[in-house]
Chain A
Amino acid sequence: MRKFIALTVFAAAVTAQAAEDLDTRVERLAQELRCVVCQSQSVADSNAPLAVDMKRHLREGLAAGRSEQELRDELVQRYGEQVLYRPALHAGTVPLWFGPVALVAIGGLVYWRHGRRREGGP
């Protein structure tokens, strides 16, 4: 009897552990995804019907043994790159990744040259 109880407790603990892992994985993945119908909210933070559906989809996918990358790629194919908060670096997203840096660099260059001219002037 005691053995049986111990076994039951052990099984329950293992199940709880697995469920918690799934929760954290869904949460982590949903944090990376933009809720495409919301303003500045991740799928994890939103309760919009689409975000709720997406979270269910992620949970079912992960539970079925699909990888995070697989689920991410699938959503990009359906909703476009904008569904990712950190889009992959490729030709189309270069302005997104380096545009701000380039603008600051141009501004700095203009400021530097302008400053030098003034220094050298009368």
Chain B
Amino acid sequence: MKLLLAALLPLLATATLVALLARSLQRDAQAEPVSPLIGKPAPVLDLERLAGDTPPRPGEVWVLNVFASWCGPCRTELPVLGQLAEQSGVRIVGLDYRDTLELGLAFLKRHGNPYALTWRDPEGKGSMAWGVTGVPETFVIDRKGVVRLRHTGPVTAEDLNKRLLPLIKRLQGA
């Protein structure tokens, strides 16, 4: 019995290790980035305005999207953000990360502006308050002002339909 256990133990240990590694491999790191902000009140931005003048109303679900005119994926995600605003009625607040006034405005003019309000963040102060590590990044904030989701990388049509819209609809109903 003891011998059997001694023979099985390394096998068991290896199997556990393999299972752990396999799980890490399959987990989509992009889909659920950890953010210490989840479940915490949304940081307040004290910045200059780039465009738009309709901030989210208190008690309303809203979305923050960090972008930049020099960021290619941000361009591709703009139409998807437009769909998001249209289909759920949420106000999207833009944060123009490390950009100039002229380039930021030209970007919105040329590629369409899905944002109800856009802040300028030339020194990365606002994005640092949100723990942003790159552009684009998207956050969903619930009716109580609590951060509920962080999405890194461009929002694709699939992300929109499978994650963002269902969550936003649920939060709006709550």
A: which residues have CB within 8 A of B? 36-37, 49-50, 53-54, 56-57, 76-80
Q: Is A37 a contact partner of B134 (Cβ separation < 8 A)?
A: yes
Question: Which B residues touch A80, using CB under 8 A?
Answer: 34-36, 131
Q: Is A79 a contact partner of B124 (Cβ separation < 8 A)?
A: no
Q: Total A-B pairs in contact (CB under 8 Å)?
A: 35
- Nearest neighbor of A78 in chain B, beta-carbon distance: B131
- Whether A37 contacts B133 in the complex (CB less than 8 A), given A53-B125, A54-B128, A57-B128, comes out as yes
> Taking the complex as formed, is B50 at the interface, i.e. its CB lies under 8 A from any CB of chain A?
no
Within 8 A of A (CB), among B123-152: 123-125, 127-131, 133-134
> Taking the complex as formed, is B167 at the interface, i.e. its CB lies under 8 A from any CB of chain A?
no
B: which residues have CB within 8 A of A? 34-37, 40, 43, 98, 123-125, 127-131, 133-134
Give A38 to B130 CA distance when docked, in angstroms: 18
Q: Is A78 a contact partner of B36 (Cβ separation < 8 A)?
A: yes
Chain A: minimal CB distance from B129 (Å)? 7
- Whether A77 contacts B36 in the complex (CB less than 8 A), given A36-B133, A53-B123, comes out as yes
Give A54 to B125 CA distance when docked, in angstroms: 9
- Whether A50 contacts B131 in the complex (CB less than 8 A), given A76-B36, A80-B35, comes out as no
Show 18 A/B contacts (Cβ-Cβ < 8 Å), sorted by A: A36-B133, A37-B133, A37-B134, A49-B98, A49-B124, A50-B124, A53-B124, A53-B125, A53-B127, A53-B128, A57-B125, A77-B36, A78-B37, A78-B43, A78-B128, A78-B129, A79-B133, A80-B34
Question: Which B residues touch A36, using CB under 8 A?
Answer: 133
Chain B: minimal CB distance from A106 (Å)? 10
Q: Identify whether the interface residues of A are mostly helix, strand, loop, or mixed.
A: helix
- Nearest neighbor of A81 in chain B, beta-carbon distance: B36
Chain A: minimal CB distance from B6 (Å)? 10
- Nearest neighbor of B130 in chain A, beta-carbon distance: A78
Question: Which A residues touch B37, using CB under 8 A?
Answer: 78
Chain A: minimal CB distance from B23 (Å)? 17
Chain A: minimal CB distance from B95 (Å)? 13
Chain A: minimal CB distance from B84 (Å)? 25
- Whether A56 contacts B123 in the complex (CB less than 8 A), given A80-B35, A80-B36, comes out as yes
- Nearest neighbor of A37 in chain B, beta-carbon distance: B133
Chain B: minimal CB distance from A11 (Å)? 30
Chain A: minimal CB distance from B139 (Å)? 12
Question: Which A residues touch B133, using CB under 8 A?
Answer: 36-37, 50, 79
Give A79 to B40 CA distance when docked, in angstroms: 13
Question: Which B residues touch A56, using CB under 8 A?
Answer: 123
Give A78 to B42 CA distance when docked, in angstroms: 11
